[in-house]
Amino acid sequence: MAQSEQEQVPGAPPPGGEGNGWRKEYWSKNLRLMVVLLAIWFVVSFGCGILFVEQLNQVVIAGFPLGFWFAQQGSIYVFIVLIAVYALRMDRLDDEYGVSERNDDGSRS
């Protein structure tokens, strides 16, 4: 596939419309995803692991007081999931707006 640097070609993906309008849209979708993921990041680590740890510790599952589990185990698992979701969603977003990185044959690089 030819490496086209053109901004507009007939049959282009719909979002964005004319000129650089797509940039704003792409960026605001990126920011929205980021804010949601960072909110979860904060709630799980600082919320469950620190601010409400004592209340959650009243619940014990498989020997783990729940707050303690979030602070020493659960938060780390959630961090991994958050980055995974981010990477996958950004792949889709990049494709949607035609800004994903491709090799000359069109495969992902």
Interface residues toward another protein, by CB under 8 A:
1-9, 11-13, 22-23, 26-27, 30, 34, 37-38, 41, 45-46, 49-51, 53-54, 57, 61-65, 67-69, 71-73, 75-77, 79-80, 82-84, 86-87, 90-91, 94-95, 97-102, 106, 108-109
| Shortest separation between residue 90's beta carbon and another protein, angstroms | 6
| Shortest separation between residue 84's beta carbon and another protein, angstroms | 6
| Shortest separation between residue 12's beta carbon and another protein, angstroms | 4
Expressed in angstroms, the distance from the first to the final Cα of the chain is: 14
- C-beta separation of 71 from 50 below 8 A: yes
Calpha distance 102→109 (Å, rounded) = 5
| Shortest separation between residue 75's beta carbon and another protein, angstroms | 5
DSSP assignment of 7-43, as one string?
S--TT--STT-STTHHHHHHHHHHHHHHHHHHHHHHI
Task: Give residues with Cβ within 8 angstroms of 29, minimum separation 6.
Answer: 93
